[in-house]
A and B are shown apart, each in its own frame.
Chain A
Amino acid sequence: MPLLEVENLRTTFRTEDGPVTAVNGLSFALDAGETLGIVGESGSGKSVTALSIMRLLSRTATVTADRIVFNGENLPSKSEADMRRIRGYKIAMIFQDPMTSLNPVLTIGEQIAEAVRLHLGLGKRDARDRAVEMLEKVRIPLPEKRLGDYPHQFSGGMRQRVMIAMALSCNPQLLIADEPTTALDVTIQAQVLELMNDLQRETGAAIVLITHDLGVVAEFCRNVLVMYGGNMVEYGSATQIFSEPRMPYTQGLLASLPRLDDSEHRRLEPIKGQPPNLLRLPPGCAFAPRCAYRMPICDNPVPLYDFGAGHVARCYLYDERARDQRPAQARALPTVSPIGAAS
């Protein structure tokens, strides 16, 4: 049984311009101890997915889902009090900007102790010991001394390590890390990723890593979920996604990146056009307006196609029905069968 199962997640925001569909029928599953990378550009719905699952969105958002099952429990049917007991305990979260997610008027020690006293029911002294232990784990020097320091007395990288210490203090089964290294310099990013790797090996927590950096995903994740226009467009193991991307968007993303190990100067191949307007998502494939392979059939809702070994992609290029619509450069592609009916 997977640790987390999400089915048909839909999140819309009421805005002055009309409803904005941020997540549009997303389904995925995650096993215990797994590392899943969710990649996508701004507005693709990756952060909103996490916040919807955690029920952390404001009242302007409407979240519906057929199922969100965590550890055998259906999250949408939980009361707010029950959710509070799960958040920060069984499911922990790290955000992009550690400065705004730490409380500036409480010491680091108080903030870590608060979580463990609340969730683990530890007494004052035990909570303090636990805080020291966690700071040691995330390699903060002189943890006993630093307990009494405030967030502004730490550097950006250290603050993010404090966030990790806090998130892992109650031994969560799932850690959702939303762009945890985006605000950090690269040498500090390397430190934080190494730390998260070590701690995962130690605690066995599953990690959902939300990022726009495909390099970080290649380094860190076992499985990858690519999002575009509020839905999953491709899913597979990191090797499948990077070596055999099936969806033209994933292919385009990889071709548009300059790589550190490019020794020859090659011209980058950008994806044409702009990311979709979430106020007016097209009825069919959200990527179709920018796609080099666009076919008439792409204006219909697109099902997922199964490429074997867990690799799926949402694209009509591989559909038997679209065989004669394919542009010349895609004639030779194999056809595979869609999964179920169009979602």
Chain B
Amino acid sequence: MNGGALVEAKDLFKYFPIRAGLMSRHVADVRAVDGVSFAIRQGETLGLVGESGSGKTTIGRLLLRLLPATKGEILFENQNILAMSRGEIRRLRRSIQIIFQDPFASLNPRMTIREIIAEPLRIHCLASGKEIDERAHELLKLVGLQPYHANRYPHEFSGGQRQRVGVARALAVSPKFIVCDEPVSALDVSIQAQVINLLEELQEKFGLTYLFIAHDLSVVRHISTRVAVMYVGKIVELANREELYQNPLHPYTQALLSAIPIPDPAVEQRRKRIVLTGDIPSPVNPPSGCRFHTRCPVAFDRCVSEEPPLREYAPGHFAACHWVEEHGGARPDLTTAPAAVNAGAK
């Protein structure tokens, strides 16, 4: 999987300790990321989807080393960033940037837009004096804002405009790789499309590589080259976009896709929905064996006792499921009307 990989995570773990009592005794761990491996190729967008508590945001933060990993390796351009010194990390962040979910919380309210965008330029000594202003204006125009916006404060902008400022700040250092952590989920629907299109244009223009973290599978289908599905700290399926949406192998992926309502009543009426029972398990005490076995309609004995490995069933299509393995890569039929998700595809 290393051919052309810009970023590679190998057997990555992140446990958050839970401490309790007077002595802050270590009583348990939140197993946010629990043995995850994947690669992101140069110029692609890897979509990372999952529900709350699946560990997708933690992975994004680990890749920037905003959080230290518990175990594992993260290679960026074949260098292990987990072994880097502070100075090296600082230099690394010229190549790796992040766009956050909440455009209200991620911009300092006491700084003008110019100061916000200029800060990374100053930190990395990329510009000084007048150049900074010129570069800030250039970046604002790039993300669809006007140079006169530079003197304003974040509160003077709407959510969509603030997210554009966040994008401009990330682009200031001309990074190669950007982690987009739910960049549009806080925005109104009519504004979401503006920001998605902007991210696509910038990718084309600068050859950027994205890790696109989201819970909205429609947005992820739109923007991603490949998609990884997470469930309680593990990747359960990874495939090319079309392959994943047309031929989801893992029962969880199928249920997840089936749960997304499609804005078209004619399609909705024809669809058979797979409704899972039960809640998402806690990452503090995940179920034994396959973590999905508590909600899986096709689970059997082996799923309770043995953890399924992520295996390749078709070129580039990985899944972690005993049922799929025992049926030679076939997918379980969870509805009576298969491929219901694509019933209305134009």
Binding site for B on A (CB under 8 A): 41-42, 155, 157-158, 185-191, 193-194, 212-220, 238-239, 242-243, 252-254, 256-265, 267-272, 274-275
Contact = CB atoms under 8 A, between A and B. Distances in A.
A157 B255 CA distance: 17
A158 B280 CA distance: 11
B79 interface: no
Contact of A194 (B191, B217, B264, B273): B273
B201 to A, nearest CB: 10
B109 interface: no
Interface stretch (B10-18, B118-126, B338-346): B338-346
Given A186-B256, A187-B255, A217-B263, A270 B51 contact: no
Given A155-B279, A257-B218, A214 B189 contact: yes
Contacts of B276: 187, 190-191
B145 to A, nearest CB: 12
A275 B261 contact: no
B219 A158 contact: no
5 contacts: A186-B51, A215-B218, A218-B265, A260-B257, A262-B221
A190 B256 CA distance: 9
Contact of A260 (B161, B193, B197, B262): B262
Interface centre among B188, B259, B263, B267 (most CB of A within 10 A): B263
B-side interface mostly? helix
Nearest to B186: A42
A239 B261 contact: no
Contact of A270 (B191, B256, B257, B273): B191
A261 B267 CA distance: 9
Lowest 10 CB-CB distances: which A-B pairs, in order? Answer: A215-B261, A270-B193, A258-B222, A185-B51, A256-B193, A214-B263, A268-B193, A190-B259, A41-B188, A271-B190
A219 B189 CA distance: 18
Given A187-B276, A218-B261, A259 B158 contact: no
B263 A185 contact: no
B264 A242 contact: yes
Interface in B195-250: 196-197, 200, 215, 217-219, 221-223, 242, 245-246
Nearest to A191: B275
A218 B263 contact: yes
Contacts of B345: 261-263
Nearest to B277: A191
B52 interface: yes
Contacts of A185: 51-52, 215, 280
Given A214-B189, A257-B263, A194 B275 contact: yes
A270 B263 CA distance: 16
Contacts of B158: 274-275
Contacts of B219: 258
A158 B275 CA distance: 15
A239 B246 CA distance: 26
A257 B191 CA distance: 10
A180 to B, nearest CB: 13
Contacts of B267: 218, 261
B266 interface: yes
Contacts of A215: 218, 260-263
Contacts of A264: 346
Nearest to A181: B261
A257 to B, nearest CB: 6
Contacts of A243: 264-266
Contacts of A274: 158, 160-161, 191
Contacts of A253: 189-190
Nearest to A185: B51
A61 B242 CA distance: 50
Given A158-B279, A186-B215, A256 B263 contact: no
Contact of A213 (B160, B223, B261, B343): B261
A213 B256 CA distance: 17
Contact of B280 (A187, A217, A256): A187
B95 interface: no
B230 to A, nearest CB: 12
Given A41-B188, A187-B259, A269 B268 contact: no
Contacts of B194: 270, 272
Nearest to B50: A185
A188 B188 contact: no
A265 B189 CA distance: 18
Contact of A265 (B192, B222, B259, B279): B222
A41 to B, nearest CB: 4
Residue from B193, B219, B346 with most neighbouring chain A CB atoms (10 Å): B193
Contacts of B265: 218-219, 238-239, 242-243
B279 A188 contact: yes
A260 B268 contact: no
Interface in B252-295: 255-268, 273, 275-277, 279-280
Nearest to A238: B265
Contact of A262 (B222, B256, B257): B222
A243 B192 CA distance: 22
